[in-house]
Amino acid sequence: MNIEITDLTRRFGRNQAVAGVSLQAGPGVFGLLGPNGAGKTTTIEILEGYRTRDGGDVEVLGFDPERAGSAFRERIGVVLQQSQLWPNLTVAETHRMFAGYYEHPRNVDEVIVLVGLAEKRDARVKTLSGGQKRRLDLGVALVGDPDLVFLDEPTTGFDPAARRAAWDMIRSLRSLGKTILLTTHYLDEAEQLADRLAVLREGVIIREGTPAELTAGSNETEVRYREDGQDVVVRTTEPTKLLQRLTTEALAEGRELEGLSVRRPTLEDVYLSLTAEHEE
């Protein structure tokens, strides 16, 4: 396992940002999902070595990030939630500058092509769009040829096309056998990319598994149809029984169940019900 966390805790003043998180991640994409303030960024920044922890064990690539030095940083790539780069350097120069920090950097031009900035190779960073700047962040994170990549909300503010392009990039990273830790509050993104997911709320993991396991974990099915011009929505744990009753009644009365649909809960439904539970 490239990331192993046991009982991680971290408090800021009176705010218990992380309250006992345990997780393991190997090659592939591990998604950390949760509302703002759930502890995603604190967790990822502890793994990156930015934050100390109050308690628990953390091992990343065999290092304790709190004490790790250059040997650890040779092997990680980081996209921060918010950061900018030098406005007056070009895309290629920015990559070259970062490449110089690593023992075995990747070819700069290859990385620029990989993140889709080939046309902007010699453009100053200040002339890039928001999405292009985010791709530059990603390119700079990849230039050291890391084994483990941290992506903290990498597609926030992207238009749909840019998001799809970013997803393709992340998939190609995964196919290279990298470990990717991704935080996001976009559910479709987590569902599309993550091999495993953990949902964080108030500093604890409230659900963990593959996207399929998470949606399977909820045993409610939603049945919709129209009756007397009104939409009817029924949630049931026994859809077979319900459907049989509905269809039998309808057949007996000789009417059609208009607009009938049977839907498994999406990850979004699961997520919303998980993260909302507490507020009720």
Partner 1 sequence: MRLLRHQLKWEQRLFWRSRESAVFVFLFPILLFALLTAVYNGHIDGRPASWGLLAGMIGYGAANTAFAGLAITLVSRREIGILKRIRATPLPPAVYLTAVLVSIMIVFAIQVASLFALGRLLKSTPWPTHLLSLVLSLALGAAVFAALGLAITGFIRSLEGSSAVLNVIVLPAAFLTGSFGPTRHYPKVLRAIGDVLPLKYLLDLIKGIYLHGQQFWDKPLAIGVLAGWGIFGMVVALRTFRWEPREG
Q: Which residues bind partner 1 (CB under 8 A)?
A: 48-50, 69-71, 73-74, 76, 78, 80, 82-86, 88-89, 93, 97-98, 100-103, 140, 144
| Cβ burial 117-140 (10 Å sphere, 16+ → b, else e) | beebeeeebeebeebbbbbbbbbb
39: CB partners within 8 A, 6+ apart: 10, 17, 18, 19, 21, 200, 202, 203, 204
Cα gap 3→148, rounded to integer Å: 9
Q: Identify how many contiguous H helices and E strands the chain contains and give both numbers.
A: 10, 12
Nearer to partner 1, 71 or 272 (CB): 71
Least distance CB 9 / partner 1 (angstroms)? 20
- DSSP code for 127: G
Backbone torsions φ then ψ of 59, nearest 5 degrees: -135, 125
Residue 269, classified by CB atoms within 10 Å of its CB into exposed (0-12), middle (13-18) or buried (19+), is middle
Shortest CB 117 distance to partner 1, Å: 17
- Distance in Å, CB of 77 to partner 1, minimum: 8
Cβ-based nearer residue to partner 1, 9 or 81: 81
Counted residue by residue, the chain has a size of: 280
Cβ-based nearer residue to partner 1, 147 or 269: 147
Closest CB to partner 1 among residues 47, 274: 47
Q: How far is the CB of 84 from partner 1 (least distance, A)?
A: 4
What's the min distance (Å) between Cβ of 24 and partner 1?
22
Residues 6+ apart with CB under 8 A from 196: 25, 28, 29, 30, 31, 208, 209, 210
Token pair listed for 155: 């597609």
Least CB distance from residue 121 to partner 1, whole Å? 17
Question: How many alpha carbons fall within 13 Å on the CB side of residue 216?
Answer: 6
CB of 21 to partner 1, least distance (A): 21
Output 88 or 230, the one with its CB closest to partner 1.
88
Nearer Cβ to partner 1 (146/239): 146
Nearer to partner 1, 70 or 230 (CB): 70
**Burial of 102 from C-beta contacts in 10 A (0-12 / 13-18 / 19+):** middle
Q: Are 19 and 55 in contact (CB under 8 A)?
A: no
CB of 212 vs partner 1, minimal distance in Å: 33
Residue 73 or residue 201: which is nearer to partner 1 going by CB? 73
